[in-house]
Amino acid sequence: MEKTLNQKAWFLVLPVFLLVAFSAVIPLMTVVNYSLQDTFGNNKFFWAGLEWYTELLHSERLWSAFGRQIIFSAIILAIEVPLGVFVALNMPKKGVWASLSLVLMALPLLIPWNVVGTIWQIFGRVDIGLLGHTLAALGIDYNYTRDPLAAWVTIITMDVWHWTSLVALLSYAGLQSIPEAYYQAAKIDQASRWSVFWFIELPKMQGVLMIAILIRFMDSFMIYTEPFVVTGGGPGNATTFLSIDLVKMALGQFDLGPAAAFSLMYFLVVMLVSWVFYTVMTNLDKKAGY
Amino acid sequence: MGWMAWTLPTAIFFAVIGALLLIMSVLAIRYPETPRMGILRMETTRGDRLFITLLGSAFICLAWLGLVGENLWWALGICFVYALAVFRWV
Amino acid sequence: MSISTAPRRPWINPKALVMIAYIVFLLLPIYWLINMSLKTNEEIISVFTIWPRHLTFANYKTILTDPAWYMGYVNSMIYVVQNVVISLAVALPAAYAFSRYRFMGDKHLFFWLLSNRMAPPAVFALPFFQLYSSIGLFDTHIAVALAHTLFNVPLAVWILEGFMRGVPKEIDETAYIDGYAFPRFFVRIFMPLIASGIGVAAFFCFMFSWVELLLSRTLTSIDAKPITAVMTRTVSASGMDWGVLAAAGVLTIVPGALVIYFVRNYIAKGFALGRV
């Protein structure tokens, strides 16, 4: 649709602008201020300069949390995106079964995140959980509170359980927009299942997959509640991701200065990634002719 | 405002950012932005280039702190060169 | 080339098999939660049963009669509803502006909104705590409601903009020619046209505010403590009351499960910020 130039439209946007400025700009300014100072409580601050940044940039703790975070996001993307696309390809196209599978698949998406944690905390326990009990009965040594590998497997399975449906539902929406004529043409050409996927379905899903990857990357990059409930970041620091570490520092130890410097660097990385994705997304939109 | 812990350097920092935004707005009114294709193979406007400059500068300064050391004035110099490059070619 | 004959239909559809396997994988943990909520603690700890041997609703009764538990639901409901109202009230005009007009800085503003949806709540937890403490709103419902606008306002703007783009512009122009002023046109004519969009946006604001834990826990202590925080804190205090914990979890799923059918065709749109 052709949009008209109208500077008065700013008045319509003003409430959003003010509200978001209040909830985003003021906190971010505060974070910048804190990150350069030291405090011993009582709102008394001392200039610390760039000390916290230098310290954090050389700290083992931050870099290992960052490394775990990257590995976690990479693993869940590598599982959830192909699995989600695969599920979407197998979803019924219309009718009662389509509605039913939509509703059932969306269920995990609507569960409060700490309840997701609680569900898997219970499900994985060897004494009372179905998964843990079954694994133990099969003779597999599995204990997510003691064994880092088991903790990782539990958290990744939980995330796959929680979010794969999102990728599937988005891909499904992309698939729905393919006209039936395309499939018929492919049938006449005796195209294989694989080439139908590669030349017809995948290009049509490109846009939605981009969004799905963006959202899954960002949300997994700031994951806090679910692993916090299941493992509390342990055993040791094995599942301490960036947000868990930051909250520990900011609200647990109330180290305002280092926590603020940490926050800012975290925020900058997020800004960079979401900008790159956003640019690619809008360029794709332009190509598609929106 | 006590809880926000303002200091002179951070106040100056935000004043500079605010002034930049103000200048860009005035410029946008006087000379409307026209997108152009740069070396990144994408369309950018003046505002986009300012954003790329600021975000990139933040990373340059962090890299300097992490790899070289305290004296950020040199990093600021690099940021300035980077800014010129962005506004010229991107 | 021989003429291909239609392959013999297998007696069970492989597509259906994949779907059944996937949905069983999704439902099994939820089933286990419901199963536990209907057992007594003795049964949970002493024997391993696939379904409750002594069916009991005592866990639900505990939650619905103990104010420490049910006030958690009430508090959550209050700030969630406040959040939905605030988010929609500010997002509606803004989404209209984005869908109809070009104006200075519109693209940058749109990206700025997105960046707030992408920002980690952990970054904002500490400054929000300081901010709302300093203006005397700590441990109030409105503080949580305002904090959640950080990600819900962008979400609502994006979803509503997606719906509004589908309404032809001629409708606006005809109404203005007919002498409608903007506010009257917007409320009387335009809002009914995008009623389903408003419903979807409201649902997603509700959902994202309902599922969030970190900010709502940080900004409350007693008077406005949400159910999610009640759950995490009571776990350790009451010596692992698994049955009640499971029942509390089941009750938090109910609101979403009740309305999910009505928004089933918009789930993808909502989670994808209106861009599907």
Contact list in B for residue C115 (CB cut-off 8 A) is none
Measured CA to CA in angstroms, residue A257 lies from A42, B71, B72, C216 at distances of: 14, 20, 19, 23
Beta carbon pairs, A and B, within 8 Å: 53
Phi-psi region at A140: left, alpha or beta (left = phi > 0; alpha = psi -120 to 50): beta
Taking the CA of residue C125 and the nearest CA in chain B, the distance in Å comes to 14
Alpha-carbon radius of gyration of chain C: 24
Beta carbon pairs, A and C, within 8 Å: 285
Residue A11 lies in a domain: no
Q: What pLDDT score does B19 carry? A: 94
Q: Does A215 touch chain C (CB under 8 A)?
A: yes
- Rounded CA-CA distance A35/C3 in Å is 74
**Mean pLDDT across C233-245:** 68
Measured CA to CA in angstroms, residue C22 lies from A89, A135, C15, C257 at distances of: 13, 20, 11, 19
> What is the torsional sign of CA B23, B27, B32, B37?
negative
- If you average pLDDT over every residue of chain C, what do you get? 87
C47-57 pLDDT per residue, tens: 788 888 888 89
Contact list in B for residue C131 (CB cut-off 8 A) is 3
B53-75 pLDDT per residue, tens: 999 999 999 898 888 877 788 88
Phi-psi region at A113: left, alpha or beta (left = phi > 0; alpha = psi -120 to 50): alpha
Interface probe, candidates A4, A10, A20, A126, chain C, greatest C C-beta count within 10 A:
A20
Decide if A265 and B13 are in contact by the 8 Å CB cutoff. no
3-state secondary structure of C226: coil
Would the pLDDT of A290 be above 70? no
Q: What pLDDT score does A16 carry? A: 92
3-state secondary structure of B43: strand
Neighbour subunits, A (≥3 Cβ pairs < 8 A) = B, C
Decide if A256 and C126 are in contact by the 8 Å CB cutoff. yes
Q: What CATH number should be reported for the domain holding residue A255?
A: 1.10.3720.10
Architecture per CATH, C62-271: Orthogonal Bundle (1.10)
Residue pair A30/A39 in contact by the 8 Å Cβ criterion: no
* Interface ipTM > 0.90: no
**Domains in chain A: how many in total?**
1
- Minimal-distance CA residue of chain C relative to B24: C105
Q: Residues of chain A with pLDDT > 70: what percent? A: 97
Residue A109 lies in a domain: yes
Alpha-carbon radius of gyration of chain B: 16
C75-96 pLDDT per residue, tens: 999 999 999 999 999 999 999 9
Pair type for strands B36-37 and B43-44: antiparallel
Q: Does A45 touch chain B (CB under 8 A)?
A: yes
Q: Could you give phi then psi for residue C41, rounded to 5 degrees?
A: -60, -35
Q: Which of the residue ranges B40-54, B75-89, C195-209, C230-244 would you say has the lowest mean pLDDT?
A: C230-244
DSSP H helical ranges for chain C:
14-37, 41-46, 58-65, 67-100, 106-118, 121-134, 141-165, 169-177, 182-185, 191-193, 195-211, 214-218, 227-237, 242-259, 267-271
Residue A16 lies in a domain: no
